[in-house]
Amino acid sequence: MENLLKKIQHFLEEIDSYRDKLLFLFIKPYWPLKITPNHVTYVRVIIGILLCVLLFFFNIENKILILTLFFIGAITDFVDGPVARGTNRVTEFGAMLDSTADRILIIPIALYSLFSLEKWLLLSLILIEVTNALTSLFYKSKEIYLESNIFGKIKMTIQAIVFIIILITWPNLPAEFFLDLLWISIIFGILSIFARILDLKNKQHVQLKNIQHPFR
Protein backbone atom coordinates (compact mmCIF):
# COMPACT_ATOMS: atom_id res chain seq x y z
CA MET A 1 0.00 0.00 0.00
CA GLU A 2 2.80 2.38 0.93
CA ASN A 3 4.70 1.66 -2.30
CA LEU A 4 1.54 2.13 -4.37
CA LEU A 5 0.87 5.50 -2.74
CA LYS A 6 4.45 6.61 -3.45
CA LYS A 7 4.15 5.57 -7.10
CA ILE A 8 0.89 7.49 -7.50
CA GLN A 9 2.40 10.49 -5.73
CA HIS A 10 5.50 10.42 -7.96
CA PHE A 11 3.36 10.15 -11.11
CA LEU A 12 1.18 13.11 -10.12
CA GLU A 13 4.22 15.17 -9.15
CA GLU A 14 5.71 14.53 -12.59
CA ILE A 15 2.55 15.89 -14.20
CA ASP A 16 2.52 18.90 -11.86
CA SER A 17 6.13 19.68 -12.75
CA TYR A 18 4.97 20.74 -16.23
CA ARG A 19 2.98 23.56 -14.63
CA ASP A 20 6.19 24.82 -13.01
CA LYS A 21 8.11 24.57 -16.28
CA LEU A 22 5.43 26.57 -18.08
CA LEU A 23 5.21 29.26 -15.43
CA PHE A 24 9.00 29.45 -15.09
CA LEU A 25 9.08 30.81 -18.66
CA PHE A 26 7.43 33.96 -17.31
CA ILE A 27 8.54 33.95 -13.66
CA LYS A 28 12.31 33.63 -14.02
CA PRO A 29 12.89 36.49 -16.47
CA TYR A 30 10.02 38.82 -15.57
CA TRP A 31 8.95 38.32 -11.94
CA PRO A 32 9.77 41.44 -9.81
CA LEU A 33 12.15 40.29 -7.07
CA LYS A 34 10.67 42.77 -4.59
CA ILE A 35 7.47 40.69 -4.59
CA THR A 36 8.22 37.53 -2.62
CA PRO A 37 6.15 34.32 -2.75
CA ASN A 38 4.96 35.06 0.78
CA HIS A 39 3.61 38.43 -0.39
CA VAL A 40 1.44 36.54 -2.89
CA THR A 41 0.28 34.15 -0.17
CA TYR A 42 -0.53 37.05 2.18
CA VAL A 43 -2.91 38.35 -0.48
CA ARG A 44 -4.81 35.04 -0.21
CA VAL A 45 -4.94 35.37 3.58
CA ILE A 46 -6.29 38.93 3.33
CA ILE A 47 -8.90 37.90 0.76
CA GLY A 48 -10.03 34.97 2.91
CA ILE A 49 -10.46 37.22 5.96
CA LEU A 50 -12.21 39.85 3.84
CA LEU A 51 -14.65 37.25 2.48
CA CYS A 52 -15.42 36.11 6.01
CA VAL A 53 -16.11 39.68 7.14
CA LEU A 54 -18.22 40.54 4.10
CA LEU A 55 -20.32 37.37 4.24
CA PHE A 56 -20.83 36.85 7.96
CA PHE A 57 -20.48 40.29 9.56
CA PHE A 58 -21.87 42.66 6.91
CA ASN A 59 -24.11 40.13 5.07
CA ILE A 60 -22.84 41.39 1.72
CA GLU A 61 -23.74 38.78 -0.90
CA ASN A 62 -22.91 40.61 -4.11
CA LYS A 63 -22.20 37.69 -6.43
CA ILE A 64 -19.73 39.52 -8.67
CA LEU A 65 -17.75 40.91 -5.71
CA ILE A 66 -17.56 37.60 -3.83
CA LEU A 67 -16.75 35.61 -6.97
CA THR A 68 -14.04 38.08 -8.05
CA LEU A 69 -12.35 38.05 -4.65
CA PHE A 70 -12.42 34.27 -4.43
CA PHE A 71 -11.12 33.90 -8.00
CA ILE A 72 -8.16 36.21 -7.26
CA GLY A 73 -7.45 34.23 -4.08
CA ALA A 74 -7.50 30.98 -6.04
CA ILE A 75 -5.10 32.40 -8.65
CA THR A 76 -2.59 33.33 -5.92
CA ASP A 77 -2.56 29.67 -4.85
CA PHE A 78 -1.76 28.67 -8.42
CA VAL A 79 1.31 30.91 -8.66
CA ASP A 80 2.90 31.34 -5.21
CA GLY A 81 4.50 27.86 -5.21
CA PRO A 82 6.01 28.19 -8.71
CA VAL A 83 7.24 31.70 -7.80
CA ALA A 84 8.96 30.28 -4.70
CA ARG A 85 10.62 27.51 -6.70
CA GLY A 86 11.41 29.69 -9.71
CA THR A 87 13.12 32.36 -7.60
CA ASN A 88 14.75 29.88 -5.17
CA ARG A 89 12.76 31.17 -2.18
CA VAL A 90 11.23 27.96 -0.87
CA THR A 91 11.05 28.12 2.94
CA GLU A 92 9.44 26.11 5.71
CA PHE A 93 7.47 29.17 6.83
CA GLY A 94 6.25 29.75 3.28
CA ALA A 95 5.01 26.16 2.99
CA MET A 96 3.09 26.41 6.27
CA LEU A 97 1.72 29.84 5.35
CA ASP A 98 0.54 28.47 2.00
CA SER A 99 -1.53 25.65 3.51
CA THR A 100 -2.93 27.98 6.20
CA ALA A 101 -3.91 30.54 3.55
CA ASP A 102 -5.72 27.80 1.60
CA ARG A 103 -7.89 27.03 4.63
CA ILE A 104 -8.57 30.70 5.34
CA LEU A 105 -9.78 31.13 1.75
CA ILE A 106 -11.81 27.93 1.40
CA ILE A 107 -13.58 27.61 4.76
CA PRO A 108 -15.64 30.88 4.63
CA ILE A 109 -16.94 30.01 1.14
CA ALA A 110 -17.65 26.42 2.21
CA LEU A 111 -19.65 27.62 5.23
CA TYR A 112 -21.50 30.20 3.14
CA SER A 113 -22.49 27.87 0.32
CA LEU A 114 -22.90 24.46 1.98
CA PHE A 115 -24.18 25.06 5.51
CA SER A 116 -27.88 25.12 4.71
CA LEU A 117 -27.95 22.45 1.99
CA GLU A 118 -24.97 20.07 2.34
CA LYS A 119 -24.14 19.84 6.05
CA TRP A 120 -22.44 16.43 5.90
CA LEU A 121 -20.25 17.51 3.02
CA LEU A 122 -19.35 20.70 4.88
CA LEU A 123 -18.57 18.79 8.07
CA SER A 124 -16.35 16.36 6.16
CA LEU A 125 -14.43 19.20 4.50
CA ILE A 126 -13.84 20.94 7.82
CA LEU A 127 -12.77 17.72 9.59
CA ILE A 128 -10.21 17.02 6.85
CA GLU A 129 -8.81 20.55 7.11
CA VAL A 130 -8.60 20.38 10.91
CA THR A 131 -6.90 16.97 10.76
CA ASN A 132 -4.46 18.22 8.14
CA ALA A 133 -3.64 21.25 10.28
CA LEU A 134 -3.09 19.09 13.38
CA THR A 135 -0.81 16.80 11.37
CA SER A 136 1.24 19.81 10.26
CA LEU A 137 1.53 21.06 13.83
CA PHE A 138 2.62 17.62 15.00
CA TYR A 139 5.50 17.25 12.57
CA LYS A 140 6.45 20.90 13.23
CA SER A 141 6.75 19.98 16.92
CA LYS A 142 9.17 17.22 15.89
CA GLU A 143 11.33 19.84 14.13
CA ILE A 144 10.98 17.98 10.85
CA TYR A 145 10.29 19.94 7.67
CA LEU A 146 7.84 18.35 5.26
CA GLU A 147 6.85 20.09 2.05
CA SER A 148 3.24 20.24 0.92
CA ASN A 149 2.44 17.16 -1.14
CA ILE A 150 0.74 16.74 -4.48
CA PHE A 151 -2.44 15.27 -2.94
CA GLY A 152 -3.01 18.47 -0.97
CA LYS A 153 -2.42 20.55 -4.10
CA ILE A 154 -4.96 18.53 -6.07
CA LYS A 155 -7.47 18.82 -3.22
CA MET A 156 -7.13 22.59 -3.21
CA THR A 157 -7.37 22.83 -7.00
CA ILE A 158 -10.58 20.76 -7.11
CA GLN A 159 -12.13 22.76 -4.28
CA ALA A 160 -11.21 26.10 -5.86
CA ILE A 161 -12.78 25.14 -9.20
CA VAL A 162 -15.94 23.71 -7.62
CA PHE A 163 -16.49 26.69 -5.32
CA ILE A 164 -16.12 29.06 -8.27
CA ILE A 165 -18.90 27.07 -10.01
CA ILE A 166 -20.98 27.13 -6.81
CA LEU A 167 -20.60 30.92 -6.51
CA ILE A 168 -21.66 31.33 -10.14
CA THR A 169 -24.84 29.25 -9.66
CA TRP A 170 -25.62 30.52 -6.13
CA PRO A 171 -28.22 30.49 -4.53
CA ASN A 172 -28.90 27.30 -6.47
CA LEU A 173 -26.51 24.42 -6.05
CA PRO A 174 -24.64 23.29 -9.17
CA ALA A 175 -25.08 19.91 -10.82
CA GLU A 176 -24.54 16.88 -8.60
CA PHE A 177 -21.31 16.18 -10.49
CA PHE A 178 -19.62 19.19 -8.87
CA LEU A 179 -20.68 18.13 -5.37
CA ASP A 180 -19.27 14.70 -6.15
CA LEU A 181 -15.99 16.42 -7.01
CA LEU A 182 -15.94 17.91 -3.51
CA TRP A 183 -16.27 14.41 -2.06
CA ILE A 184 -13.37 13.36 -4.30
CA SER A 185 -11.34 16.29 -2.94
CA ILE A 186 -11.91 14.85 0.54
CA ILE A 187 -10.35 11.58 -0.64
CA PHE A 188 -7.30 13.54 -1.80
CA GLY A 189 -7.27 15.26 1.59
CA ILE A 190 -7.13 11.87 3.31
CA LEU A 191 -4.33 10.77 0.96
CA SER A 192 -2.48 13.99 1.79
CA ILE A 193 -2.68 13.23 5.52
CA PHE A 194 -1.57 9.64 4.97
CA ALA A 195 1.37 10.77 2.79
CA ARG A 196 2.44 13.26 5.48
CA ILE A 197 2.38 10.54 8.13
CA LEU A 198 4.53 8.27 5.94
CA ASP A 199 6.99 11.10 5.22
CA LEU A 200 7.19 11.91 8.91
CA LYS A 201 7.84 8.27 9.72
CA ASN A 202 10.61 8.01 7.10
CA LYS A 203 12.32 11.26 8.14
CA GLN A 204 12.18 10.31 11.82
CA HIS A 205 13.85 7.01 10.88
CA VAL A 206 16.63 8.89 9.06
CA GLN A 207 17.06 11.27 11.99
CA LEU A 208 17.34 8.35 14.40
CA LYS A 209 19.97 6.63 12.25
CA ASN A 210 22.00 9.84 12.06
CA ILE A 211 21.90 10.19 15.84
CA GLN A 212 22.93 6.56 16.38
CA HIS A 213 25.73 6.75 13.78
CA PRO A 214 26.84 10.43 13.75
CA PHE A 215 30.19 9.77 12.06
CA ARG A 216 29.12 7.25 9.49
**How many angstroms separate the CA atoms of 33 and 49, rounded?**
26
102 is catalytic: yes
Query: What does the DSSP 8-state code read for residue 35?
Result: S
Largest CA distance in the chain: 64
Q: Which of 16, 20, 102, 199 is catalytic?
A: 102
Query: Which of 82, 70, 100, 96 lies closest to 164, judged by CA?
Result: 70
List b or e across 15-30, with b for residues whose CB sees 16 or more CB atoms inside 10 angstroms. Answer: eeeeeeeebbeebeee
CB within 8 A of 110, min separation 6: which ones? 122, 125, 126, 159, 163
**How many angstroms separate the CA atoms of 121 and 187, rounded?**
12
List Cα–Cα distances, 71 to 31, 64, 66, 136, 157, in angstroms.
21, 10, 9, 26, 12
Known catalytic residues are 102
